[in-house]
Amino acid sequence: MAETETLAIRLPKELSQRLTRVAKRTGRTKTYYAREAIIRHLEDLEDYYDAIQVLERNEPSIGNDDMRQIIDEMDD
């Protein structure tokens, strides 16, 4: 098994209750769903901040119309 670390978090009561209901309904643990939510959100955050870094470089970019033309030419 992969090496793991423990993370303790405080949740608002309502959110914790919702998590408990989903876990009971599906037979999975609250930890499973918390981990899945973190993984999915973290991937979105990483993508967002990667995109911000690219934009901050002010490098030339290709517009949608030009990119569509390039893709169309590749399909020919």
| Spatial separation of the C-alpha atoms in residues 46 and 57, rounded to whole Å | 17
- Which residues neighbour 29 within 8 Å (Cβ) at sequence distance 6 or greater? 23
Per residue in 41-65, pLDDT (tens digit) is 999 999 999 999 988 988 888 889 9
Token pair belonging to 52: 């911000």
Q: Kindly report the pTM of this predicted structure.
A: 0.62
At which residue do the structure tokens 């876990």 appear?
Answer: 23
| Number of CB atoms found within 10 A of residue 30's CB | 15
Look at 17 and 60; give whichever has higher pLDDT: 17
Residue 61: Cβ-neighbour burial (10 angstroms; 0-12, 13-18, 19+):
exposed
